[in-house]
Amino acid sequence: MATTTASESSAAPALKVAILGFGTVGSAVARILCDLPAGAPIRLSHVFNRNVERKRVDWAPADVCWSSEFDSVLSSDADIIVELIGGMAPAHDYVTRALSAGKSVVTANKKLIAAHGPQLSELARKNGAALCFGASVAGGVPVIDALQDGLAGDRLYRVSGILNGTCNYILTKLESEGVTFAEALTGAQAAGFAEADPTDDVDGFDARAKLVILTRIGLKAIVPPEEVPCTSIRGVQAVDFLYAHELGATIRQISRSERKQSEVFASVQPALVPIESPMAHITGSLNLVLSSGRYGGQTAFSGHGAGGHSTAVAVVSDVVAIARGRAKAQAPHANAVSLPVSGNFESKHYIRFTVNDRPGIVAAIANVLATHSINIDALLQKPGFDREALPFVVTLEACPSALLEAAMADLRKLDFMVQPPVTMPILTKEL
């Protein structure tokens, strides 16, 4: 049987699409749907938003129903509900009620899917509906479909990536312009790459939600989002890039997850990545996902991780998958099992100390590390800094991150520290 794209015509009546939330992504989705030629297999039928009157646009067909009443959209003849409100409430309630009514749902809401994806998928299955969330990770990069279908023949054991464009934008500004973290953040906000409240992005929670979804789809492991350790990028400074470059590396916010028998190792944190790694070449607001499979080795997916248009393409592609009848068979969380999660990866580490210089500092640090059975690999000190706030770096031989954390608790107490030390794992190019 021939398949159809969003713009190809089909003999069957077009499926009616209701958009909930007419913001950046919702309006971009509407624009794509309204640009489809007559006879396309999907068409925009409803737009729901609070105070919807101010959202009306002149380019939507006159028969589109604009509503601020979710109940009237739910009881309408719309076939597919596209949730683009974001956050947990009321999105969770609306998606639950739509699926319970047997309507298929497409969402870009990573928070919702990270927290409730398996339960919502099961609800969809029970009611003969589909739940698609391709836009919830890496925006326009079709990585969910790729892990679920394209690599279904492999046994994936690791997924990793640069999943937050805001962090990547800030880190690459620190690297290329030597600005402070505060200046880079203000620049990101002015350029529209960061929210007024940047917490979710810079402290890793946004990337963590995406990593949890990738872990389920790729590694078939369900882990609670709140149990995946997150480290903010707020401590990273331009000086860390000088030292990273000296070590043949750069710094990126890395989300990684690895399945080992009955346990998952996962974390979101700034990390040193070797210059020859594909992660090092992702700049600005781009995203990258790497998957590693037992049989097929490493596969990379990259592109625009956010933005109204690229995210809208992912949303409409999910709508098309439903129109083609492909989405219901996918059962995105099928075969995924709940597993305990730990952030205790073993790797080499970087520690940047900022000290009020005086004799005996290196010996004191070495002594604490030795007490915790951690071996120093190298010591790096760039000239030209004030003695009252002198940054220098110690790199460590491979050790579990939990062992280092215990040592850090002691190191932070040393009276010559003028800033909290900054630790990052030094990753290999395989990540």
- Residue closer to ligand NAP by CB (options 108, 355) is 108
Contacts with ligand NAP, residue ranges (CB under 6 A): 21-26, 49-50, 84-86, 90, 108-110, 135, 139, 306-308, 311
CA torsion angle for 235, 241, 242, 246 (degrees, to 10)? 120
- Residue closer to ligand NAP by CB (options 90, 178) is 90
Q: How far is the CB of 49 from ligand NAP (least distance, A)?
A: 5
- The residue nearest ligand NAP at its CB is 23
Asked if 222 and 337 count as a contact pair (C-beta separation under 8 A), the reply is yes
Strand segments, DSSP code E, in 283-375 are: 286-293, 297-304, 337-338, 341-342, 346-355
- Residue closer to ligand NAP by CB (options 26, 41) is 26
The active-site residue out of 55, 103, 210, 328 is: 210
Asked if 72 and 101 count as a contact pair (C-beta separation under 8 A), the reply is no
Q: How far is the CB of 142 from ligand NAP (least distance, A)?
A: 13
Q: How far is the CB of 183 from ligand NAP (least distance, A)?
A: 23
Q: Which residues contact 75 (CB under 8 A, 6 or more apart)?
A: none
Nearest-angstrom CA–CA distance, 119 and 102? 15
How many whole angstroms from its chain centre is CA 269?
Answer: 12
Q: How far is the CB of 96 from ligand NAP (least distance, A)?
A: 15
Asked if 245 and 178 count as a contact pair (C-beta separation under 8 A), the reply is no
How many whole angstroms from its chain centre is CA 63?
Answer: 37
Catalytic site residue 260? no
Looking from the CA of 173 toward its CB, the CA atoms found within 13 Å total: 21
- Residue closer to ligand NAP by CB (options 174, 194) is 194
Q: How far is the CB of 160 from ligand NAP (least distance, A)?
A: 19
- Residue closer to ligand NAP by CB (options 41, 139) is 139
Q: Which residues contact 424 (CB under 8 A, 6 or more apart)?
A: 236, 240, 251, 269, 270, 271, 272, 349, 350
What's phi and psi for 223, nearest 5 deg? -125, 145
Which residues are annotated as catalytic? 210
